[in-house]
Amino acid sequence: MTADLVVVGSGLFGLTIAERAANDLGLKVAIIDRRHHIGGNAYSEAEEQTGIEVHRYGAHLFHTSNERVWNYVNRFTTFTDYQHKVYTRHKGEVYPMPVNLGTINQFFRAAYSPAEARALIAEQAAELGDKVPENFVEKGISLIGRPLYEAFIMHYTAKQWQTDPEQLEASIISRLPVRYTYNNRYFNDTWEGLPTDGYTAWLERMADHPNIEVRLETDFFDAGQEINRDNVRGNVPIVYTGPVDRYFDYAEGELSWRTVDLEEEVLPIEDFQGTSVMNYPDPDVPFTRIHEFRHFHPERDYTKDATVIMREYSRFAGRDDEPYYPINTDADRAGLLRYRDRANAEPGVLFGGRLGTYKYLDMHMAIGSALSMFDNRIKPHFTEGAPLE
């Protein structure tokens, strides 16, 4: 193995590091991933029967207000003009999300002006008076009032956490945005869109360089692989984007995550729900939402004979599940601080990405954070001999 740099994990963080190291510094980079494909959770593929692009690890929408990231990603792909919108199905009726003037007027069968709606929500949110919210339910009521909270948020969040709402901590929500206009665009960022020819084409272009070698189905902790922790550590600089607790053999305890189960179905109809994402906030439905992938690319000439939907169920992750969302309990936060100390003290290894830092990162954040690591740590190491730590 003759690499100048080993990158563990081919998600957007690892790919950005590898691409910069090869193109800007001319380094030889080995990038390994334990999965059979590159791209981490942003990976997508054409569903076999229909050819419809399916995001294998849940729907991924690209959006950013970071100009540097936007210019960077446009070197590998163009983006469509897709604008994400979400609807929610409550007691047999469909409402626009996030909660906006349209949602409020439909829910209360009214024609409130923005000022009237604001006054109504303020009055409903004052229900608890001066009482400091003691749990998630009281916190939610204090933010948007009981009627909207119970209809659209309470059971939805409880399903995400698979926990009785009364048992959830107030701290899991700090704000619930309500828009007093009819704007129901989901994201407020300057740029938004989906990669024109799919996520995988984008991700593969990032790794397409003679100096970048990708090894799939290669686990960094598998002693049977040429590139593994014991062989590489101390010999070649490493950027590690796997779970930080796993790297240290869980010495400071296990950090907790939620995962999602995705149930895919091909239906023999052209259109199931008329939109890409429908939330299900009621307690009698076990899933949280349904994605219908054809609607992410209305510009494509997909078959009219079938459609692909995916129901999403949320639950706590065990050690063998895919970790998706950090739970961030007090114990997790304390454990993370100890892992950070260990990571800083680990010579020649940089920890990055959402698993390596135990942080939820959108794609643009993962890319932005990798570009900073490259500028501040990797480039100085290779061009000025600064220590890599």
Footprint on this chain of ligand FAD (rule: CB under 6 A): 8-14, 32-35, 40-42, 57-62, 219-221, 241-242, 260, 324, 353-355, 361-364, 366
Is 253 strand, coil or helix? Answer: coil
Helices assigned H by DSSP within the chain = 12-25, 67-73, 101-107, 114-125, 136-144, 146-148, 155-161, 199-207, 229-232, 244-247, 330-345, 353-357, 363-373, 379-384
Q: How many CB atoms lie within 10 A of CB 329?
A: 13
Residues in binding contact with Na ion, number by CB under 5 A:
3
Question: 124-136: string of b/e by CB count within 10 Å (b at 16+)?
Answer: bbeeeeeeeeeeb
Whether 258 sits among the annotated catalytic residues: the reply is yes
Q: Which is nearer to ligand FAD, 180 or 324 (CB)?
A: 324
Residues between 307 and 366 that touch Na ion (CB under 5 A): 346, 349
d(CA 141, CA 154): 9
d(CA 389, CA 191): 34
Out of 299, 360, 375, 389, pick the active-site residue.
Answer: 360
- Closest approach, Cβ 345 to Na ion, in A, equals 7
Residue 200 interacts with which of ligand FAD, Na ion, none, CB < 5 to 8 Å by class:
none
- Closest approach, Cβ 238 to Na ion, in A, equals 9
Cβ-contact 52, 307 below 8 angstroms: yes
Whether 311 sits among the annotated catalytic residues: the reply is no
- Closest approach, Cβ 268 to ligand FAD, in A, equals 27
Q: Which is nearer to ligand FAD, 149 or 240 (CB)?
A: 240
- Closest approach, Cβ 13 to ligand FAD, in A, equals 3
- Closest approach, Cβ 120 to ligand FAD, in A, equals 32
* CA proximity to 325, closest of 176, 160, 164: 160
d(CA 319, CA 274): 37
Q: Which is nearer to Na ion, 335 or 356 (CB)?
A: 356
Q: Which is nearer to Na ion, 161 or 240 (CB)?
A: 240
Residue 40 interacts with which of Na ion, ligand FAD, none, CB < 5 to 8 Å by class:
ligand FAD
Q: Which is nearer to ligand FAD, 249 or 284 (CB)?
A: 249
Structure tokens given for 145: 């009032």
- Closest approach, Cβ 371 to ligand FAD, in A, equals 13
Q: Which is nearer to ligand FAD, 151 or 232 (CB)?
A: 232
- Per CB under 5 A, does 214 bind Na ion? no
Q: What are phi and psi of 16, to 5 degrees?
A: -65, -45
Residue 137 interacts with which of ligand FAD, Na ion, none, CB < 5 to 8 Å by class:
none
Residue 11 interacts with which of ligand FAD, Na ion, none, CB < 5 to 8 Å by class:
ligand FAD
Q: Which is nearer to ligand FAD, 41 or 276 (CB)?
A: 41
- Per CB under 5 A, does 389 bind Na ion? yes
Cβ-contact 179, 100 below 8 angstroms: yes
Residue holding tokens 């995400």? 160
Cβ-contact 122, 234 below 8 angstroms: no
Out of 175, 284, 301, 320, pick the active-site residue.
Answer: 175
Helix axes 136-144, 114-125, angle to 10 degrees: 150
- Closest approach, Cβ 63 to ligand FAD, in A, equals 7
Q: Which is nearer to Na ion, 30 or 349 (CB)?
A: 349
Whether 75 sits among the annotated catalytic residues: the reply is no
* CA proximity to 68, closest of 359, 361, 372: 372
Structure tokens given for 79: 């983006």
Out of 56, 289, 294, 354, pick the active-site residue.
Answer: 289
The HSE-up count of residue 338 (CA atoms within 13 Å, CB side) is 13
Question: 333-368: string of b/e by CB count within 10 Å (b at 16+)?
Answer: eebbeebeeebeebebbbbbbbbbbbeebbbbbbbb
- Closest approach, Cβ 24 to ligand FAD, in A, equals 19
Structure tokens given for 204: 């593969």
Whether 233 sits among the annotated catalytic residues: the reply is no
Nearest residue to Na ion, using CB? 346
Whether 312 sits among the annotated catalytic residues: the reply is yes
Residue 346 interacts with which of Na ion, ligand FAD, none, CB < 5 to 8 Å by class:
Na ion
Active site (catalytic) residues: 175, 179, 258, 289, 312, 360, 362
The binding site for Na ion (CB under 5 A) comprises 346, 349, 389
